[in-house]
């Protein structure tokens, strides 16, 4: 358990449940990435697989609140044998995203996902993680053999016009960004993803990454002064909640933090949350990075004045 808690911190209200995150496979994963923010691995069972009933219940509760998007995460979501039924249920009420390492996307699975995507009224997004554009670069972080299988999964989707969002954790210096992005784009195109969609995430100071970088970075927390005049809509805690087999957490990033569990149901988890963790600084700095569009939406608020006609 990490000990990065700030004792007195600013509280953020849930303005609206825009984003429902569901940890459908718990922390179970078929691989063990060096930077995993929630320590998922083949052996990790802190959080377990969710049942179809529990997932459907969460989707219905969120739909009743006007949820905007639903995200399936883990662990590796495809380890849950009922994932496709869950995706179908979610897509009936909201656009849905699956965050995956892509390794379990066979031709048959890609066919089914593409059929679901075509039939749905809302968008189905599949986010496939890659952390390097060569086997050597990627597998040093994500494990031996991962690159080949993940890329094959992404290509299977792209060939069915279900264009995956390749999600990459930034493990390079800013100066190297253009070269890295050009490398990813070239390799993806050559492999058959001819319209690559790329999302780059900062490394999160959590889980194995926090252990890995211990001593390398200074402690940093969000203070009340930092929120003064800051657009709180950019913070996940203002617009998201994460449902797991053990209850509801404020956001997917803080799932290992006991203080970030806000209740056992979405109803209970509507209360505000105090930003006590170093990871909160990442959200403060970059905006709601976990969503599909990295873009910071921080334009002026609209306050309509009544106008009679």
Partner 1 sequence: MTRFALIGGIYSNWRALETTLSDIARRQVDATFCLGDLGAFGPYPDRVFPLLQQAGVLCLQGNYDNSLAGGLADCQCGYTDPRDNHFARLSYDYTFRNTSPAHKAWLGTLPMSRRLEVNGTRLLLCHGSPRKINEFLWESTSPDGFLGYLLDEAGVDVLCVTHTGIRWHRDLGAGRHVVNVGALGRPENDGTPRVWYALLTIGDSVHVEFIPIQYDHEALAADMDVERLPGEFIETILSGWWTTCLEVLPQKERARGRF
Q: Name the site residues for partner 1 (rule: CB under 8 A).
A: 16, 18, 63-69, 93-95, 117, 121-125, 161-163, 177-178, 181, 195, 197-198, 200, 233, 292-309
Give the nearest distance from C-beta 140 to partner 1 in angstroms: 25
* Region for residue 247 given its phi and psi (left: phi exceeds 0; alpha: psi -120 to 50; beta: otherwise): left
The whole-angstrom separation of Cα 258 and Cα 255 is 8
Give the nearest distance from C-beta 248 to partner 1 in angstroms: 19
Separation of CA 126 from chain center:
11
What is the 8-class DSSP label of residue 41?
A: B
Residue number with CB closer to partner 1 (259 or 267)? 267
Q: Return the structure tokens found at 218.
A: 């200074």
Give the nearest distance from C-beta 202 to partner 1 in angstroms: 11
Which burial class, exposed, middle or buried, applies to 1 when counting CB atoms under 10 A from its CB (0-12, 13-18, 19+)?
exposed
Residue number with CB closer to partner 1 (177 or 259)? 177
Give the nearest distance from C-beta 67 to partner 1 in angstroms: 6
Give the nearest distance from C-beta 215 to partner 1 in angstroms: 30
What is the 8-class DSSP label of residue 102?
A: S
Residue written as token pair 């997932």: 55
Residue number with CB closer to partner 1 (125 or 256)? 125
Residue number with CB closer to partner 1 (275 or 289)? 289
Separation of CA 270 from chain center:
20
Give the nearest distance from C-beta 146 to partner 1 in angstroms: 24
The whole-angstrom separation of Cα 7 and Cα 174 is 33
The whole-angstrom separation of Cα 243 and Cα 50 is 9
Residue number with CB closer to partner 1 (229 or 304)? 304
Q: Is the dihedral of CA 258, 27, 133, 162 positive or negative?
A: negative
Residue number with CB closer to partner 1 (3 or 303)? 303
Residue number with CB closer to partner 1 (124 or 254)? 124
Give the nearest distance from C-beta 278 to partner 1 in angstroms: 22
The whole-angstrom separation of Cα 266 and Cα 245 is 13
């Amino acid at each position: 358990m990490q000990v990065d808690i700030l004792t007195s911190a600013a509280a953020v209200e849930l303005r609206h449940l825009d984003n429902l995150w569901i940890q459908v496979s718990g922390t179970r994963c078929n691989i063990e990435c060096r930077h995993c923010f929630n320590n998922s691995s083949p052996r990790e069972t802190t959080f377990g697989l969710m049942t179809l009933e529990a997932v459907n219940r969460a989707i219905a509760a969120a739909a009743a609140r006007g949820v905007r998007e639903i995200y399936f995460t883990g662990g590796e979501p495809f380890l849950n044998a009922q994932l496709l039924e869950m995706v179908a249920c979610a897509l009936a009420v909201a656009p849905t995203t699956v965050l995956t390492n892509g390794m379990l996307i066979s031709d048959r699975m890609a066919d089914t996902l593409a059929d679901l995507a075509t039939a749905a009224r809302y968008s189905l997004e599949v986010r496939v993680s890659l952390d390097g554009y060569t086997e050597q670069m990627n597998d040093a972080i994500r494990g031996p053999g991962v690159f080949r299988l993940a890329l094959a999964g992404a290509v299977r989707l792209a060939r069915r016009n279900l264009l995956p969002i390749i999600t990459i954790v930034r493990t390079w210096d800013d100066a190297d960004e253009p070269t890295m992005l050009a490398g990813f784009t070239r390799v993806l195109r050559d492999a058959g993803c001819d319209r690559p969609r790329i999302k780059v995430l900062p490394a999160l100071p959590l889980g194995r990454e926090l252990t890995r970088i211990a001593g390398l970075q200074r402690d940093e927390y969000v203070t009340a002064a930092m929120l003064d005049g800051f657009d709180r809509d950019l913070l996940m805690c203002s617009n998201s909640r994460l449902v797991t087999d053990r209850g509801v957490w404020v956001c997917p990033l803080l799932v290992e933090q006991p203080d970030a569990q806000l209740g056992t149901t979405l109803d209970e988890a509507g209360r505000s949350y105090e930003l006590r963790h170093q990871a909160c600084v990442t959200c403060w700095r970059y905006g709601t990075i976990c969503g599909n569009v990295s873009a910071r939406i921080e334009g002026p608020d609209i306050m309509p004045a009544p106008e009679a006609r």
